[in-house]
Structure 1
Amino acid sequence: MKMKFRSILWVVVILLVMVVLVGCGGNTPSDATSSEVPAAESVNIIENIRSAGVIRIAVPEDTPLFGITTADGIQEGYDVEVAQMLAQDMGVELELVPVSSANRIPYLTSGKVDLVISSMGIKPERAEVIDFSNAYAPFFWAVYGPADLDVSNIQDASAYKVGATLGTLEETAYTEAAGLGATNIQRYDDQATTVQAFLTGQVDLIVTGNAIAAGIIADHPEMNVETKFVLQQSPCHVGVRRGEEGLLTWVNAFIYVHTLNGDLDNLSIKWFGEPLPDFPNW
């Protein structure tokens, strides 16, 4: 009787072991799959860039001091030099991609470029689409015009034609200050056209950034252009695609290091005539 009981017990034990083994074996494929999915989804963009050997950076095509394309087809300016410094630190070749204010974010979100270094300020609507680094360059928007025009506020400016570049933060800020019904604002598709409209007298005043205004003042002293009033401070930030936290962290470290060692101060003095200001925290 005892032998029979032991035999039955061993049969039960063997059956249980088989069930456990089958159960473990059944879980193996799903476990492997679940461990492989995060690895596939976790893309290291920095490794991809280094593997490709090149980083594509959007820079301004028509923003004096920050970035322009010369008659020889060469890009130059503060943003261009920051892009060159960044590529050197990453150890890859640099592909500069000239962009306008209107297409710089679409170029980033569509994957045409890896970063945007294009005198770009932060606004909530933009932050819904892309991520931003810490500030790396000074920028403010103001209304500029000849010294003989008596303009010191938005109400005074309403008596004159005001030129602005469509889609820029300064155009948005001026429109909000003047009111959506304001009819004295002439909007142009790019910075170069806006500046040309001001230089040729198509508009009396121009809403633009300090860098572009500095270029106008330096190149056309006969116009006696001055700052009429400041609309808003807006330091510049590097644009990074959403979800690429590793690249964003790397860019912030790059900015931090080159702020500490004085490289960005030196570039700011070279292009804007003054060192970097104290930026607000972001």
Structure 2
Amino acid sequence: MTRLPRTLAVLTALLSVAVATPAAADLDDVLNDGTIEIAVPENFPPFGSLGVEGEHVGYDVDVAKLIAKDLGVDLELVPVTSKQRIPYLETDRVDLVISSMGANPTRAKSIWFSNAYAPFFSGAFAAPDLDVTSPADLGGLKAGVTGGTIEDIELTDMVPDGAQIVRFGDNAATLEAYKSGQVDVLVTGNTVAANLASGNDDIDLETKFIIQESPAFIGVKKGDLDLLRWVNVFILHKKLGGELDDLSRKWLGQKLPDLPTL
């Protein structure tokens, strides 16, 4: 007789936990709630960072605002670090992750990914009037790169005879070398190049060629199929309408390149 009440107590406790645990916020839930919570970079400009007026700004922040506008709901931005992105999605702290996140097989075990919405790549950058379109054009030029980086490793296998790779100890030294004219071409990530150009009115950088692609994808919790489908339609619509191109030019200083779909 003592076992039945104890069993009922356990079942009741389990039921209360299940009720208290938030369910996956699929599209209907977001629309009914009237609010969408989106994770954006805490401090990773130009994708997301704290602006001068105390509000978060950046490419990813603007994409989040467009999503909320098209859904017709309020937006709650949740600044996150890289390590927080997937856990926040898995535990329903956020509905979407828009935080310059690349897709790979390991991450895909935990969450779903949308089609790519933003370019993220390593490349060669220089003034628009410098005639460089591929590694073969670097002959006779000095290319500055931070030693030991993926850009350094990849570029070394690409350049022709006569090209000079000048390696520096850190990104700050590499950027300073380009600013001071020690090198003709800057080899780095597109976000680093965009920050350099935006912070220096006398520097006009153009993407000359891409070394390695690593575009960004929107993270969606497993099971939120309707929300994933809506996000993919949203991305297609903003590509065709030019809004993502506008954001790329605004924040990354380049036109939106072709982006992969999943």
**TM-score, normalised via structure 2 length:** 0.64
Matched-pair contact (CA < 8 Å) for 2:26–2:227: yes
Check if 1:102 corresponds to 2:56: no
Q: What's the counterpart of residue 237 of structure 2?
A: 257
Aligned residues: 207
Determine which of 106, 115, 119 is the counterpart of 1:138: 119
Q: Aligned equivalents of 2:203 and 2:62: distance in 1? A: 30
1:63 counterpart SS class? coil
Structure 2: gaps spanning 5 or more residues: 1-22, 126-141, 155-168, 177-185
1:255 counterpart SS class? helix
Determine which of 246, 251, 254 is the counterpart of 1:271: 251
C-alpha offsets along residues 84-125 of structure 1, whole Å, 9 cap, x if unaligned? 010011111000011122211211112111101111111111
2:106 counterpart SS class? helix
CA apart distance, 1:175: 11
Measured at CA, do residues 276 and 248 of structure 1 come closer, stay the same or move farther in structure 2, by a change above 3 Å? same
Q: What's the counterpart of residue 219 of structure 1?
A: 199
Q: How does 1:50-199 map to 2 (within 5 A)?
A: 50-141=31-122, 157-158=147-148
Determine which of 180, 189, 212 is the counterpart of 1:232: 212
**Which structure dedicates a bigger proportion of its chain to helix?**
1
Measured at CA, do residues 221 and 254 of structure 1 come closer, stay the same or move farther in structure 2, by a change above 3 Å? closer
CA apart distance, 1:133: 0.4
**TM-score, normalised via structure 1 length:** 0.60
Matched-pair contact (CA < 8 Å) for 1:63–1:212: no
CA apart distance, 1:62: 1.4
Counterpart AA for 1:102:
K
Q: Aligned equivalents of 2:218 and 2:64: distance in 1? A: 10
Measured at CA, do residues 239 and 175 of structure 1 come closer, stay the same or move farther in structure 2, by a change above 3 Å? farther
Runs of 4+ in structure 1 deviating by more than 6 angstroms, as ranges, are: 150-154, 174-177, 194-200, 221-227
Matched-pair contact (CA < 8 Å) for 2:41–2:60: yes
Amino-acid identity (%)? 46
C-alpha offsets along residues 44-66 of structure 1, whole Å, 9 cap, x if unaligned? 71121122211000111212221
Matched-pair contact (CA < 8 Å) for 1:68–1:77: yes
Larger Rg: 1
Check if 1:241 corresponds to 2:218: no
Matched-pair contact (CA < 8 Å) for 1:67–1:79: yes
